[in-house]
Each structure stands twice: as structure tokens, then as C-alpha cells.
Structure 1
């Protein structure tokens, strides 16, 4: 009985061991099958991509062939243009030479203009210094002196010289006019023009018809003061009225009208004196004229 049990137990163990071995082989085969399936699928994908790439390469090759044909046509057109340009080269060289000559002439003209401007600025400086050298620094604060193109402009506000609507010179103006007389007498041969200017407000005086009259009468009053009180040669003096027609500011504001009511004393050198001043003007070298 014990022998039978032993045989039975041994048989059972052998069956169990055999069963375990079959399961391991099955599992290994299943895993191998799965791997081969994955490889097969990957191969199919790669094949499809290769076929697609082949079609793309064919498309690119065809496009490259078309581009090459276009380049050949462009080359032939450029070659024709080059040949035409070579035929026109001689005429083109002549045109370029003319253009260079014109540019050089323009540059020379510009250089001359710059030199003339520098000379003019130097002349204005010399003339201003010469005409104002008799005035102190404090006196210059009361007298507005400007030089434009060799002409000296001395501008005085009418409220400094006259009462409103009047052409009689007030006493306060005499000190200022004495300073103006110093400038005028410092260069005794220069011509002197006294100009009266008004705003556009009509004058209402029985003995003065309009702003023309007022401006002319004020200019005449200044001329007579320069002659009678300060000894300026009357042969050098002229009086003129500009009325309201030579404004320097807008007559729509009080400040603008005040600026327009003025008397200008214009000192002008004669031609030979002007040329003499030019000779005295400082010279400027080319580098200064060119702004270097």
C-alpha cells in the first residue's frame, strides 16, 4: 500500500513538472510572436514612408528641371542685355564724364557761396564793432543795433521817443538820441535814413490826416533833433514815413502793435566805403569755409 502511494505521488509530481515546462515554452513563443508582429508592422510603415519619399524626390527633381530651364532663359536674357550695354558703353562713358563735370562745378559753386557767407558775416561783425565802439556796455543795452548785408539798423520804440499820437520828441528821448548821434558822427561820411513806422490803428488828430503823415512827421522830428541838437550834418540825413505798411509783428495784439510803432535809423556806407570794409573783414581759410 505504501509502495502504491509512492508510485502515485511520483507520477503526479512528474505530470506537474511536465506541465510547468510546456507553459514556459508557450510563454516564450508568444513573446517571440509579439516581437515579430511589431517588427512586421514597423517594416510596413517604413515601406510606406520610402514610397512616399520616392514620390517626393520625383517631384523635387521635376521642379529642379523647371528651375534649370528658367535659369537658362534668364541667362540668355542677361547675356543679351550685357551685349546691348557693351554697345552703349562708349556713349555711357561720355554721359558719366559730363555728370562728373556738373558735380564738380556744383561743388565749386557751393564752396564759393559758403566763403561769401563767411565773408559777409565777418563784414557785419566789423561794421557793428566799428559803429558801436563809441558806446559803453550800458548804453548798448538801450540801443538795438543790427547789421544785415552791410547795413546798420538802429531801432527805437516810439514810446521812448514820443507821446501817443504825437510827433514831438520828448525830453527823455534826448539822452538816447545823443547816443545815436555818437554812432552816426563816428563815421561822418555814411548816409543816414530815418524811417517812421506805425501800427494799423487810425490816427484821430485834426492836424494829422493818417498814419502816413504821423510816421513821416516823426521821422522828420528825429532828423531835426540830430541836426539841431547834436550837430549831425543835414546833408547826410533823410526822413521817410512807412506808415503801417512795414510791420515786424502781428497788429492783432497789443504787444505786436507796440513793436510796430518804432523809428528806425538806418546807417548805410557808400560803395567805396563798403568795399573798404570788405578789405578789412577777416579772411577765412578753406577749412573754416567748409565747416571743418
Structure 2
């Protein structure tokens, strides 16, 4: 009986020991499974943390970028406003310059029109058939060139009666233009002259110019305020003074009829100065 009891005890312990090992094995397997799961979760957690940090950094960058864009947008708005204002000022400036250019062109056109009308009037009054009289426009003014043999005797500054007839027609046009000036230029050839009355070619050219001016003023009623006498001697020849024919052509009196400077040229100069600002 005693032996049976011991045998049963041994069998019971053996069975109990086998059950415990199995349980332990199951627990160890379960523990390993849990550990693996924990490791997996840890890896995922670390990945999530890394991604979170990256997202936070990206979020900060986007916030900064957004702020910068907002600031840039404000600056661009300011710049655009200033640009629009500058453009508007530039357009106004261009309009002003266009207006000044238009005025300048109108003034020049008006001057050209007056000059053309004056030439037409002179050619009608004086006539264009006489080869000793030449009427043309040079540098914006009207010039009447009268040959020496039509006005004076050789070496003299006394105006001939024939010349007074031509000068009378010129005076008629000058008197019709009280706002114009008339410059009378005396020109000689290069043959030296000196006598009891004349010192040289300068003297001859000046005395011829003043003689014409006196006739225009005293005999033909031209306002002396419009008259300007000038002597040019032989320094502005039309041709070389190398033949008698050429010297004859160089002996001439030139009458220049021009608008008063204060009426046209001052206006043009003023417009040019204003245009340059």
C-alpha cells in the first residue's frame, strides 16, 4: 500500500512537471511574440517620430515661406503702385514733350509760311525777269541780291536813279511787314580801292550799305527801326575773284528781310529749352 502511494506520487509529479514545461514553453512563445510586436511597434513609433519631425520642419518652412510670400506680395503691391505712378508720370512727361514738339513744329511751319508768302510778294513786286536781281531763301530768311551795276557806278556809293525804282518795290514789301527787319549788306570784289573819300574795300562796302539804308528811310518811307546796314568787304565772294566777270558778280548788295528775332527765334529758343527739361 505504501509502495503504491509512492508510485502514484511519482507519477503525479511527473505529470505536473510536464504540464509546467509546456506552460512555460507557451509563455515563452507568447513572450517572444509580444517582444516581436513590441519591437515592431518601437520601429514604427520611431519612424512616426522621424516623419513627425520632418513634417514639423516642413510645416515651419511652409509657414516661413507663406510669411515671406505675404511680405513679398505687400512689397510687390507697393512696387506695382510706385511703378504705375512712375509710368503715369512718364506718360504725362511724354504728353508734355509731344505738345512742346507740336508747338515747335507749328512755330517753324508758321515761320516757313510767312517766309514763302514774303518771297511770293517780293517776286511779284520786284519781278524775276531781271538777271541782275536774285530773290531766294537761305537759312530761313529772304534774300534779295542786287548786282552792283544796277545800284552804283564803279567805285562809287551814290545810289543811281534806276536803283531807286527797284528799291521802291522792295520798300513797298518791307512797309507791309512792320514786324520784320531789313539788313542791307554791301559786298565788293578784291580789287583794292583807296582815294580821298574811301579808305579801303571795307569802307566802300559799308558806305554802299548806308547809302541804300538812307534811300529806303528818307526817300521810300521805311521805318529806320527796321533797317540794319552792314559792310562785308570782299570776304564773302560768290565766285573766285579771278576774272572780270566773276569780280562783277561778287560786287553786289544783298538785302535780307527777316522776321524780328524776338517774335520767332526767341519763341523757338524758348520751346527748345523747355523741351530739354
TM-score (norm 2): 0.52
**Contact 1:251–1:257, Cα closer than 8 Å, also in 2:** yes
Aligned length: 163
Which whole-Å CA distance do the structure 2 matches of 1:193 and 1:226 have between them? 11
Q: Given the alignment of the two structures, is residue 140 of structure 1 paired with residue 128 of structure 2, yes or no?
A: yes
Task: Evaluate the alpha carbon distance shift between residue 146 and residue 252 of structure 1 in structure 2; reply closer, same or farther with a 3 A threshold.
Answer: same
**Contact 1:196–1:243, Cα closer than 8 Å, also in 2:** yes
**Contact 2:157–2:207, Cα closer than 8 Å, also in 1:** yes
Q: Deviations over 1:151-200 (max 9, x none)?
A: 11111001100000000001111111111112211211111111100000
SS at match of 1:224: helix
Ranges in structure 1 where 5+ consecutive residues have no aligned partner = 1-115, 279-292
Larger displacement relative to structure 2 (122-131 or 234-243) = 122-131
**Contact 1:196–1:215, Cα closer than 8 Å, also in 2:** yes
Instruction: Work out which of the residue numbers 137, 144, 159 in structure 2 matches 1:169.
Output: 159
SS at match of 1:136: helix
Q: Deviations over 1:58-117 (max 9, x none)?
A: xxxxxxxxxxxxxxxxxxxxxxxxxxxxxxxxxxxxxxxxxxxxxxxxxxxxxxxxxx99
1:7-26 mapped onto 2 (5 Å cutoff): none
Partner of 1:188: 178
Q: How far 1:254 sits from its partner (Å)?
A: 1.4
Ranges in structure 2 where 5+ consecutive residues have no aligned partner = 1-103, 269-277
Instruction: Work out which of the residue numbers 223, 246, 251 in structure 2 matches 1:256.
Output: 246
Q: Given the alignment of the two structures, is residue 152 of structure 1 paired with residue 152 of structure 2, yes or no?
A: no
Instruction: Work out which of the residue numbers 238, 259, 274 in structure 1 matches 2:264.
Output: 274
Q: How far 1:132 sits from its partner (Å)?
A: 3.5
Partner of 1:129: 117
1:57-76 mapped onto 2 (5 Å cutoff): none
**Contact 2:126–2:169, Cα closer than 8 Å, also in 1:** no
**Contact 2:126–2:166, Cα closer than 8 Å, also in 1:** no
Instruction: Work out which of the residue numbers 223, 229, 238 in structure 1 matches 2:228.
Output: 238
Which whole-Å CA distance do the structure 2 matches of 1:254 and 1:125 have between them? 39
TM-score (norm 1): 0.50
Task: Evaluate the alpha carbon distance shift between residue 133 and residue 163 of structure 1 in structure 2; reply closer, same or farther with a 3 A threshold.
Answer: same
Q: How far 1:256 sits from its partner (Å)?
A: 1.1
Which whole-Å CA distance do the structure 2 matches of 1:203 and 1:244 have between them? 11
Partner of 1:90: none
**Contact 2:186–2:231, Cα closer than 8 Å, also in 1:** yes
Which whole-Å CA distance do the structure 2 matches of 1:190 and 1:132 have between them? 16
Task: Determine which structure has more spread, i.e. the larger CA radius of gyration.
Answer: 2
SS at match of 1:140: coil
Q: How far 1:249 sits from its partner (Å)?
A: 0.7
